[in-house]
Amino acid sequence: MYVEPSIEQAILAPGAAVSGLVGRAGEAPSSCGVADAGQVPYADMMARFLGEAVMGAFRDDDVTEIYINPQDGRIRYDTRRQGRVDSGHRLETSRLEMFLNTVAASLNATLGSTAARIEAELPQRYFRGSRLQGFVPPATAAPACVIRKPPAIVYTLDDYVTTGVLTPVQRAALGDAVVAHDNVLIAGGTNSGKTTLANALLREITERYPDERIVVLEDTVELQCMARDHLALRTGPGITLAELVRSALRTSPNRIVVGEVRGSEALDLLDAWATGHPGGCGTCHATSAEGALLRLDRLAQRNNVPPQTALIAEAVDLVAVVEGGNRGRRLAGLARVAGLDAAGRIVLHHLNSEGSWQ
């Protein structure tokens, strides 16, 4: 049980800013973990400042994201079943500011005019390592935040059929892809359910091939692999995702899974998938199969290489496009990569409702 914080508890001693954790917009944090040891008082204070309307959402498995805008302080949720909804509650500006300052203090960081944003993983206590993106003036008119919860339940592909996210035809196609050791790229917008679908694929892989070794690579821990033989690696200070991909090749994986492809590591991943490590999956931000492959190409070219169309056609077998929003989540389409045409362009065959690729 947590109780309302006193004003005295809200006054935190300022700490030194941590490079890469609180800094310029667009910079990846060098470390955003919050260790459990010694964090209990901070976690209690964070929970008290947020109050029951927010903390109740952490206990609701249907809620995937909690966000508060600066203009009205209303507490809004992103949910699996209803999309984005207004909770009907508000959080006072002062309480949100104290929450963000508490998070900063727990990391020996400060928030202010020269460091107006923070990226962090919240404590396991109450928050289960949820991801926080917070802002204070002058970046915003008033304090604001977005909190992304980690998956509480690993759904199966059959669960997705039951809830209407997948059709039986789509579920069968994804199952076939797992059996065929196809490399699957999952594309979608922000909070569309890419990671949740990746977790469902991981579960399908584990259940069908319990003895295969899976190496999971992530910036932030979101994927949940239940395989007996798996290695989970994470980026950190001085360790990029591209370096992890290269290191993963020396760990004897059967399958390589990447939480999100968003940088130059795309080239290393494509090389790995195309040269003896099939059956992996990864996610990227795109709203169509064609857009996802174009984004992979652009990311690969950050290595100062020419377009990698041929490598993409060889490495990626299936693209799954998920959609979120107020209508709820669904798999909007599946496209199979069918090589290159005479002009050197990637050919895609899309799955229709009858189960044929066209």
pLDDT per position as a tens digit, 81-117: 788 899 999 999 999 999 999 999 998 988 998 999 9
- Rounded Cα gap, residues 204 and 23, in angstroms: 40
- Rounded Cα gap, residues 311 and 66, in angstroms: 39
Tell me the pLDDT tens digit for each residue of 269-281. Answer: 999 999 889 999 9
- Give the residue ranges of DSSP H helices in 11-122: 40-58, 93-106
Structure-token pair, residue 228: 């007996």
- Rounded Cα gap, residues 176 and 92, in angstroms: 51
189 vs 38 pLDDT, higher one = 189
Q: Which helix (H) or strand (E) holds 335?
A: strand 330-340
Tell me the pLDDT tens digit for each residue of 146-169. Answer: 999 987 778 899 999 999 999 999
Tell me the pLDDT tens digit for each residue of 158-199. Answer: 999 999 999 999 999 999 999 999 999 999 998 788 999 999
Cis, peptide link before residue 138, omega less than 30° from 0? yes
Q: Does domain 7-148 have CATH number 3.40.50.11540?
A: no
Q: Give the distance from CA 167 to its chain's centroid.
A: 24
Q: For residue 3, is pLDDT > 80? A: no
Long-range contacts of 247-253, Cβ-Cβ distance < 8 Å, separation of 24 or more: 248/215, 248/217, 248/272, 249/277, 251/213, 251/215, 252/213, 253/213, 253/214, 253/215, 253/277
Sequence ranges of the domains in the chain: 7-148, 157-350
Looking at residue 44, what is its pLDDT? 93
pLDDT band (50, 70, 90) for residue 38: low
pLDDT band (50, 70, 90) for residue 326: low
Nearest 5°: phi and psi at 88? 85, 5
Q: For residue 1, is pLDDT > 50? A: no
Looking at residue 96, what is its pLDDT? 96
Per the CB < 8 A criterion, the answer to whether 203 and 156 are in contact is yes
**Alpha-carbon torsion angle 309, 311, 317, 319, nearest 10:** -40
Read off the pTM: 0.75
Looking at residue 230, what is its pLDDT? 95
Per the CB < 8 A criterion, the answer to whether 347 and 339 are in contact is yes
The whole-chain average pLDDT of the chain stands at 87
DSSP type of residue 303: G
Looking at residue 8, what is its pLDDT? 35
Q: For residue 9, is pLDDT > 80? A: no
- Rounded Cα gap, residues 235 and 111, in angstroms: 24
194 vs 16 pLDDT, higher one = 194
3-state secondary structure of 301: helix
**CATH code for residues 157-350:** 3.40.50.300
Looking at residue 55, what is its pLDDT? 95
Identity at 74, one-letter amino acid code: R
Provide mean pLDDT across the span 215-229: 90
Question: Which percentage of the chain shows pLDDT scores above 70?
Answer: 88
Looking at residue 12, what is its pLDDT? 37
- Rounded Cα gap, residues 48 and 54, in angstroms: 10
22 vs 262 pLDDT, higher one = 262
Provide mean pLDDT across the span 52-65: 92
Looking at residue 26, what is its pLDDT? 33
Size of the chain, expressed as the number of residues it contains: 358
Looking at residue 150, what is its pLDDT? 84
Structure-token pair, residue 318: 């299936």
Neighbours of 314 (CB within 10 A): 18
Any idea which of 7-16, 162-171, 172-181, 306-315 has the lowest mean pLDDT? 7-16
Q: Indicate the pairing of strand 63-68 with strand 255-258.
A: unpaired
3-state secondary structure of 169: helix
Provide mean pLDDT across the span 71-79: 93
Per the CB < 8 A criterion, the answer to whether 204 and 225 are in contact is no
Distances (CA, A) of 193 to 198, 223, 269, 312: 9, 12, 22, 23
